């Protein structure tokens, strides 16, 4: 496996077994790579397996089959205690930002705690770094606010601040702009992509195809747990019928090009 790839997933399968019901094959034999410095969109309609695959890559769901390599090292077969030591390098941005935040902690306290507990810095250094990071994300004036006092966009930027405080090598963002109006969506994506550490990879789980074209280098299209097409962005023209309906629902592109 190449160390030039932040993510190298091979033949990943995830089967959910329901008591008294049929198996659900949520992810089926998927291969996926994310290079250093690359932003990859994982796209598809609801239920296509995007989030399950993203969680499998980060070790948040055990694989039913296949392998996941991160930065050239096998990740899926590590013991959880060993994975836990690496989680600062491989970060997850949840769809529901508010539920990921402690309702009793201020914005500043969230970031300081991340830096001191997970980053291992002193409280004084953590506070200094947190203030600088919040200023970069436009949250300095909100540092004493509680999560319920923040707008949806501000809540998401707090989750980004906690992620970027650890200087990760991989960021997996699961529908990070869900429920926001277009202006706030643009702002959150600008903060996400614009603050990635140098050389870090990003997997953006989304069903918003204009977002994918605007912010990503490549798109991986999923349907019923399988990858049906990959295409370069922003100008790649999909050939698979399902991918065409996602990227061009009104049929404005000539599929024969």
- What's the rounded mean pLDDT across residues 206-210? 86
The pLDDT assigned to 18 comes to: 80
Assign 249 a pLDDT band (cuts: 50, 70, 90): low
What's 31's domain CATH number? Answer: 3.40.50.300
Report yes or no on 128 lying in a domain.
no
Give per-residue pLDDT as tens, 104-114.
Answer: 999 999 999 99
Answer whether residue 50 is part of any domain. yes
* Residue 211 to residue 177: CA distance in whole angstroms: 10
Q: Is 225 within a domain?
A: yes
Residue 215 to residue 199: CA distance in whole angstroms: 16
Residue 162, pLDDT score: 96
Tally of structural domains, the chain = 1
* pLDDT classification of 103: cutoffs 50, 70, 90: very high
Out of 69-73, 93-97, 143-147, which region has the weakest mean confidence (pLDDT)? Answer: 93-97
Indicate whether 37 belongs to any domain: yes
SS3 1: coil
DSSP letters for 188-236: HHHHHHHTPPTT-EEEEEES-HHHHHHH-SEEEEEETTEEEEEEETTT-
Distances (CA, A) of 200 to 3, 10, 24, 51, 96: 12, 20, 33, 20, 23
- 161 belongs to a structural domain: no
Residue 23 resides in a domain: yes
Query: Residue 81 belongs to what domain range?
Result: 1-89+169-179+200-257
Average pLDDT over residues 112-132: 95
Cβ partners under 8 Å of residue 199, min gap 6:
36, 37, 169
Contact between 58 and 92 under an 8 Å Cβ cutoff? The reply is yes
Statement: residue 257 has pLDDT above 90: no
Q: What is the mean pLDDT of residues 75-79?
A: 94
Q: Which of 40-54, 176-190, 240-254 has the highest mean pLDDT?
A: 40-54
In a domain, 113, yes or no: no
* pTM exceeds 0.85, yes or no: yes
Mean pLDDT over each residue of the chain, to the nearest integer? 92
Tell me: pLDDT of 123 over 90.
Answer: yes
With a CB cutoff of 8 Å and minimum separation 6, the contacts of 48 are 222, 223, 224, 225
User: Has residue 68 been placed in a domain?
Assistant: yes
Whole-number percent of the chain with pLDDT over 70: 95
**Tens of pLDDT, residues 21-49:** 788 999 999 999 999 999 999 999 989 99
Q: What percent of the chain has pLDDT above 90?
A: 80
Strands 73-74 and 90-93: unpaired
Tokens found for residue 49: 């397996």
- Give the model's pLDDT for residue 183: 85
């Amino acid at each position: 496996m190449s160390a030039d790839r932040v993510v190298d997933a091979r033949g990943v399968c995830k089967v959910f077994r329901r008591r008294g019901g049929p198996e659900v094959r949520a992810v089926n034999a998927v291969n996926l790579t994310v290079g250093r410095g690359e932003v990859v969109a994982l796209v598809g309609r609801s239920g296509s397996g995007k989030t399950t695959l993203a969680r499998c890559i980060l070790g948040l769901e055990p694989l039913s089959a296949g392998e996941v390599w991160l930065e050239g090292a096998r990740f899926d077969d590590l013991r959880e205690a060993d994975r836990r030591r690496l989680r600062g390098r491989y970060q997850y941005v949840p769809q529901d930002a508010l539920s990921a935040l402690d309702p009793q902690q201020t914005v500043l306290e969230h970031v300081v705690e991340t830096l001191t507990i997970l980053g291992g810095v002193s409280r004084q250094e953590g506070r200094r770094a947190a203030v600088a990071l919040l200023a970069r994300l436009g949250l300095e004036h909100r540092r004493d606010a509680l999560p319920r006092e923040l707008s949806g966009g501000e809540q998401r930027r707090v989750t980004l601040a906690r992620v970027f405080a650890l200087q990760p090598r991989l960021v997996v963002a699961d529908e990070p702009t869900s429920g926001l109006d277009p202006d706030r969506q643009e702002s959150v994506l600008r903060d996400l992509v614009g603050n990635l550490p140098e050389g870090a990879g990003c997997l953006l789980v989304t069903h918003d195809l204009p977002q994918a074209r605007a912010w990503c280098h490549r798109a991986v299209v999923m349907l019923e747990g399988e990858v049906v097409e990959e295409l370069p962005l922003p100008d790649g023209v999909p050939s698979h019928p399902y991918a065409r309906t996602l990227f061009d629902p009104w049929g404005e592109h000539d599929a024969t090009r």
